[in-house]
A and B are shown apart, each in its own frame.
Chain A
Amino acid sequence: MSEADVGVDVVRETAEVVPSGPRLGRDAEFAAFMAEHGTELLRTAWLLVGDPHQAEELAQAALVRTYAAWDRIRSDDPLRYARRVLANLRVDTWRRRRREVLSAPEAMPEGSAPRTQDRVDDRDQLVRALALLTPRQRRIVVLRHLVGLTDADVAADLGVSVGTVKSTASRGLATLRAALGEPSTGSER
């Protein structure tokens, strides 16, 4: 149960929580929302953290908050709310607690897999390239260029200026170009 060394993070077991009270309308709406947008949110989470299992946890955490706020946000833009929560669940916090989440490039698998695993190779290459970005760059590049939000939306979601989004996204994209062997446009600041 306990750890002998104080330098080890303690992990506890989990148990199921039994829901209480009827909320069929909310449940049905939320289920439909997850069916429609769950894959997109999972993919965004994966791009942010680079690990599919941690991405599932991160996406679920965002969706848990979305469900809890459903009555308030249902008529607005639940997807935007969920995405904003996802991006602001603080990748740096995850890194503090779970060092494997934002893996360093050198920790990534070498790209020496057989040709039959091209898809996995490409995935690894993408993850390695994203891992070269700072957490802030990564969040901005993911939301701006890989999710496809506007500069203004990214700025609003992350609480930064539009100028910051533009400059950070440009630098981040340049890093990705270099990592993926794509020639630069030479326009990066």
Chain B
Amino acid sequence: MTLTDEQFAQRLRTRIAVAAPPMALDVDSTRRLGARRRQTRILGSAAGSTIGVAIVAVVLVLGLGAPGTHSSPAPGGRSARSVVQGAHPIGTGQVVQLAPGILASNSVVASTASDGTPWWSTGLHFQLSNANVQESIYFVGFMPLGQTSVEVNDNGVSTPFVDEGIVTAVDETPGKALHEWPAMLLRWTSTGTPDLASGGYSGENVVRVLLGTVPAAIPEPHVALVFPAGLTGADAAPTWVEVPTFQDPQGSGHLLFAVTVEPGGAWDVERKPQPQVFVIAGDGSRTTVGTQCDADAGARCLVAAAGAQTAAEITATLGATRANP
């Protein structure tokens, strides 16, 4: 006998009632998260205009590439030594193309999401389309950590570093609230490793978004994105691009960087090994991400990723901006 749609659906519902896995929710943690979300919404709404004014001022300073000086907060309340970290824009626009399909931001601009949440736009955006997913344009930016809800990085993040980081966001427009699910948390680091977050956003193709902080203890830092296996359409020789940096719009003095990688461009995400970020100090010292390549091992890691010749080129180019520390 052939079942009608409703009969078939009823049979499915019966099967589901039996087969559904055991799952549980914790009422207390849900309430706590909800309370925090509610509180931050209220605070964000009340403080939005004041913060916006403050941020515009910061962005104007950033546009001039003015350096920021800060004493980096360190775990346990210790402060690292103060260093001067100037933003290093590349070109004059807010967004610059580093290589085909690889775009980076020179600055952020204060903006307001459709739900009233203040955020800062990097000027980077990308479009995803999929036969099954509504076509959308995504704007990459940052939100103040204190004004976002806890659903950062899908894991309900709230950390002791709550005042020492910034939340990355992808704002979906038009007419929709700030997208919080893809958010990633960047924390200030006083160690030799930049804090790095990367996400892939897939429609018919995958767009990569790479955001990071520059370690606070690195003087006159420049950021290099190194491609150990070269770029698409070129030979497999290691190569690199400099990534522009800009100041944290919250005024902390920390430097940030933001890159999007569109499919079909110079970065073939399938090509291994994948690119790595290095931070080159103006005095020639360097560091990179990862526990195996901290500040002390930076030189060795740079050579390992880029090869001796390219590593020397990077160091000579980016590490000679300050004659002596």
Contact = CB atoms under 8 A, between A and B. Distances in A.
B25 A60 contact: yes
A148 interface: yes
A56 interface: yes
B19 A122 contact: yes
Main secondary structure of the interface of A (DSSP, over half): helix
B195 A5 contact: no
Given A14-B158, A42-B23, A126-B15, 7 more contacts: A2-B290, A6-B225, A6-B277, A9-B184, A15-B160, A146-B13, A182-B3
B132 A134 contact: yes
5 pairs of A and B residues whose beta carbons are closest in the complex: A67-B34, A4-B290, A134-B132, A145-B9, A68-B38
Nearest to A39: B23
A122 B18 contact: yes
Interface in A1-23: 1-21, 23
A114 interface: no
16 contacts: A4-B292, A7-B198, A10-B153, A16-B29, A34-B25, A35-B27, A67-B38, A92-B130, A92-B132, A94-B154, A94-B181, A126-B16, A126-B19, A136-B133, A145-B12, A146-B16
B8 A64 contact: no
A123 B21 contact: yes
A142 B212 CA distance: 39
A96 B153 CA distance: 12
A92 B8 contact: no
A13 B24 contact: no
B15 A122 contact: yes
Interface of B: 2-5, 8-9, 12-13, 15-16, 18-27, 29-39, 41, 130-133, 149-160, 179, 181-182, 184-185, 189, 193-202, 208, 210, 225, 269, 273-277, 288-293
Contacts, number: 226
Given A6-B276, A12-B157, A177 B8 contact: yes
Given A6-B198, A123-B20, A61 B151 contact: yes
A56 B25 contact: yes
Q: How large is the interface on A (under 10, 10 to 19, 20 to 34, 35 or more residues)?
A: 35 or more
A119 interface: yes
Nearest to A59: B25
Contacts of A47: 16
A176 interface: yes
Given A31-B31, A145-B9, A182-B3, A68 B37 contact: yes
